[in-house]
Structure 1
Amino acid sequence: MKKPVIFCDFDGTITSKDNIMAIMKEFAPPEWEQIKDQILGQHISIQQGVTQLFNLLSTKQTKQITQFVLDQAQIREGFKDFVAYTKTQNIPLFIVSGGIDFFVKPLLKDTITEDHIYCNIADFSGDTISIIWPHTCDELCSNNCGCCKPSIIRKLSDDNTFKIVIGDSITDLQAATLADKVIARDFLIEKCQELDIPYEPFETFTDVIDILKQLEVHT
């Protein structure tokens, strides 16, 4: 029997809203909207788009941006129970996020150890915020993902892994194509329907726990 491993998105999945989008709405000039539309329309890569978005932000705003995102972020209902469930069932849980370390890690510090968090890194040393990409695409991916979720999945799984992907957006689509089970909400549902990728919908992590209990895989 294959061993389940969970790969879970952060922004818009663990949190109720996308934190990068919230930052841009609050602090970026109007041209951020066009960049967002280019990302969602897959006209530019995620790495290109996120780089351009953060280049719109002055590092003089670093403290305000950090405080804003930590204050406004809301963790989706049932998340702590979900983490506890994965531990009792001995199911490895990895957070694979296109988000940035300065908000992902503080928001998860009480529930997920840092060695199970894969995300991007902010560099505040210049005039504008730069993003460092420690988890770029492997030789099997040419999508210029930024934080390449398929590459991380390949690194952390093998033929005996039952891969469970939980996500909400375009950044989770390539990961969903590799999954044995997709648990989706929002825009990822639209893309799964468009591409005939089977999925289970969720709104809270209580829903996710119920879906996991129904899976015919054992630890």
Structure 2
Amino acid sequence: MIKPIIFCDFDGTITNSDNIISIMKKFAPPGWESLKDGVLQQKISISAGVGEMFSLLDSDLKDDIIQYVKDTAGIRPGFSDFVDFTKKADIPIYIVSGGMDFFVEPLLNDLLSTDRVYCNHANFEQEKIVIEWPHTCDEHCDYGCGCCKPTIMRKLSTKNDYRLVIGDSVTDFEAAKQADFVIARDRLLEKCRIEGIPHQEFETFFDVINILKKLQEV
């Protein structure tokens, strides 16, 4: 029976939309779109693009941004049931997110302990928001990931673990290439199809639960 260790993205995966893109659309001045496009087209690193996008925002917007994300993000259906399922099945789950702690942790709402959450840190002490990167790439990765999902996977799992990645974007692709199986949607789904990575599509976390149940039967 397969018992995976799960590495799950946050923005656009646990939430219904990508919060960084949503924040930029609401609060950023013109010019951020080219940075976003550069990241999605893999022309500039995630850390460079995201760091520059947040540097466009005034630090005194912090409370407004948090409230905006709480009002608009929306948690994908079935997520709390999914967390309960993994706890009952004793399946370890880690959230690996290119998002920022100041909005990731409130949205998770204590469903998972903070030691299971890996994300970036936003510093509001200067005039503009400064992003800090506590989980940078190790010697095996030079993509400038910011929060390096492959590095976290190497740190938390062994070659004997069945590594399962859940995600939605090209920013999850390097992690997907390390996974034994991927549960994907949106751009990550397209990438998995093109590259022949073992995967299954999902839309809600009820789908994810059903996929995990079938994997446990293997």
Regarding TM over 0.5, the answer is: yes
In structure 2, the residue matched to 1:111 is 111
The residue correspondences of 1:147-162 to structure 2 (distance < 5 A) are: 147-162=147-162
Provide the rounded CA distance (Å) in 2 between the counterparts of 1:71 and 1:216.
Answer: 36
Provide the rounded CA distance (Å) in 2 between the counterparts of 1:35 and 1:18.
Answer: 15
Provide the rounded CA distance (Å) in 2 between the counterparts of 1:141 and 1:216.
Answer: 31
Structure 1 gaps of 5+ residues are: none
Deviations 1:149-181 (A, max 9, x none): 000000000022000000000110000000001
Provide the rounded CA distance (Å) in 2 between the counterparts of 1:107 and 1:94.
Answer: 15
Superposition deviation, residue 93 in structure 1:
0.6
In structure 2, the residue matched to 1:77 is 77
Letter in 1 for 2:153: I
The residue correspondences of 1:8-19 to structure 2 (distance < 5 A) are: 8-19=8-19
Provide the rounded CA distance (Å) in 2 between the counterparts of 1:7 and 1:65.
Answer: 26
Deviations 1:56-88 (A, max 9, x none): 101122221121112211000000100000011
Partner SS for 1:215: helix
Superposition deviation, residue 104 in structure 1:
0.4
- Verify the 8 A CA contact 1:12 1:18 in the aligned structure 2: yes
Provide the rounded CA distance (Å) in 2 between the counterparts of 1:160 and 1:141.
Answer: 21
Provide the rounded CA distance (Å) in 2 between the counterparts of 1:60 and 1:83.
Answer: 34
Provide the rounded CA distance (Å) in 2 between the counterparts of 1:183 and 1:142.
Answer: 25
The residue correspondences of 1:138-149 to structure 2 (distance < 5 A) are: 138-149=138-149
> Greater shift after overlay, 62-71 or 152-161?
62-71
Superposition deviation, residue 3 in structure 1:
4.2
The residue correspondences of 1:11-30 to structure 2 (distance < 5 A) are: 11-30=11-30
Provide the rounded CA distance (Å) in 2 between the counterparts of 1:160 and 1:193.
Answer: 25
- Verify the 8 A CA contact 2:180 2:198 in the aligned structure 1: no
The residue correspondences of 1:121-136 to structure 2 (distance < 5 A) are: 121-136=121-136
Provide the rounded CA distance (Å) in 1 between the counterparts of 2:28 and 2:73.
Answer: 18
- Compute the RMSD of aligned alpha carbons: 1.3
Provide the rounded CA distance (Å) in 1 between the counterparts of 2:38 and 2:207.
Answer: 32
In structure 1, the residue matched to 2:31 is 31
- Verify the 8 A CA contact 2:2 2:216 in the aligned structure 1: no
Identity of aligned residues (%): 58
Letter in 1 for 2:110: D
Superposition deviation, residue 194 in structure 1:
2.2
Q: Which runs of 4+ in 1 moved over 4 A?
A: none
Is 1:44 matched with 2:15? no
Structure 2 gaps of 5+ residues are: none
Equivalenced residues, count: 218
Deviations 1:4-49 (A, max 9, x none): 1000000000000000000000000121111110001100000000
In structure 2, the residue matched to 1:174 is 174
- Verify the 8 A CA contact 1:2 1:161 in the aligned structure 2: no
Partner SS for 2:99: strand
Letter in 2 for 1:17: S
- Verify the 8 A CA contact 1:55 1:128 in the aligned structure 2: yes
Provide the rounded CA distance (Å) in 1 between the counterparts of 2:175 and 2:186.
Answer: 16
